[in-house]
């Protein structure tokens, strides 16, 4: 019974912190807790809808259609050898979002958030050829990296949000291991990829 409860909690945490939601959470945080909250609501809503469409809705729908066509379960889709097409679908969606943002001349650090996700996906696709990286941890690592980057750019001390995200990261990583989806090494590498990509491309985008 205890093991069953632990597994259910691990599944809940994994569902709540799906990797595709990371860019949207970054933008929501920016629009609520930085000087960007002064932007018109119409513009903020437009950006959030754009990010939601191309980093969540379209990839999720595409992957779901692909899984249905292949008649795979969620567990079968998580196998390393079955991950290539989901990665490609997500990659194309992120690239389209970045292209639209560039055409609309949005702020460079906005594009940096999407670029970080895009590069992280490319790294994951490359590594996936021989090893399986935790994309959940890539997502949460990206959130931590984005928080760190924006704290440097906006000159504020994010100690409490930072501690909160680290606790969530630990819980999420433990959940992926409990569910036997990843090893400790795959969890740590995934977090590192997300963190470094977010820090690098958000800071570059500001320059």
pLDDT (tens digit, 9 = 90+) per residue, 170-197? Answer: 999 999 999 988 999 999 999 999 999 9
What's the CA gap between 74 and 68, in Å, rounded?
Answer: 10
pTM attached to this predicted model: 0.87
What's the CA gap between 33 and 44, in Å, rounded?
Answer: 13
What's the CA gap between 79 and 204, in Å, rounded?
Answer: 34
Q: Tell me what pLDDT residue 147 has.
A: 94
Q: Tell me what pLDDT residue 118 has.
A: 93
- DSSP character string of 124-168: HHHHTTT----HHHHHHHHHHHHHHHHHHHHT---HHHHHHHHHH
The CA-CA-CA angle for residues 73, 77, 83, to 5°, reads 170
Q: Tell me what pLDDT residue 81 has.
A: 61
Report, as an integer, the average pLDDT of 133-138.
93
Q: Return the domain boundaries, the chain.
A: 2-206
Q: How many angstroms from the chain centroid is the CA of residue 34?
A: 20
- Indicate whether 92 pLDDT > 80: yes
Q: Tell me what pLDDT residue 96 has.
A: 95
Percent pLDDT > 90 in the chain is 61
Report, as an integer, the average pLDDT of 3-25.
90
pLDDT (tens digit, 9 = 90+) per residue, 19-78? Answer: 999 999 999 999 998 888 999 999 999 999 999 999 999 999 988 887 777 766 665 555
- The mean of the pLDDT values for the chain is 89
Percent pLDDT > 70 in the chain is 92
Q: What's the chain's Rg over C-alpha atoms? A: 17
Candidate from 16-30, 120-134, 159-173, 186-200 with smallest mean pLDDT: 120-134
């Amino acid at each position: 019974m205890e093991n069953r409860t632990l597994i259910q909690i691990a599944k809940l945490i994994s569902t709540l912190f799906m990797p595709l939601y990371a860019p949207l959470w970054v933008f929501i945080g920016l629009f609520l807790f930085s000087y960007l909250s002064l932007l018109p609501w119409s513009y903020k809503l437009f950006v959030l809808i754009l990010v939601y469409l191309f980093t969540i809705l379209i990839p999720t729908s595409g992957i779901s259609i692909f899984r249905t066509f292949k008649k795979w379960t969620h567990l079968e889709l998580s196998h390393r050898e079955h991950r290539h097409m989901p990665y490609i679908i997500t990659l194309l969606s992120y690239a389209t979002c970045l292209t639209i943002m560039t055409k609309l001349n949005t702020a460079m650090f906005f594009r940096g958030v999407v670029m970080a996700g895009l590069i992280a996906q490319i790294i994951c696709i490359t590594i996936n050829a021989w090893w399986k990286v935790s994309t959940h941890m890539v997502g949460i690592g990206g959130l931590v990296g984005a928080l760190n980057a924006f704290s440097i750019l906006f000159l504020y001390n994010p100690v409490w949000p930072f501690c909160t995200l680290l606790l969530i990261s630990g819980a999420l990583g433990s959940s992926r291991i409990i569910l036997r989806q990843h090893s400790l090494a795959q969890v740590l590498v995934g977090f590192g990829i997300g963190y470094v990509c977010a820090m690098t491309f958000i800071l570059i985008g500001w320059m």
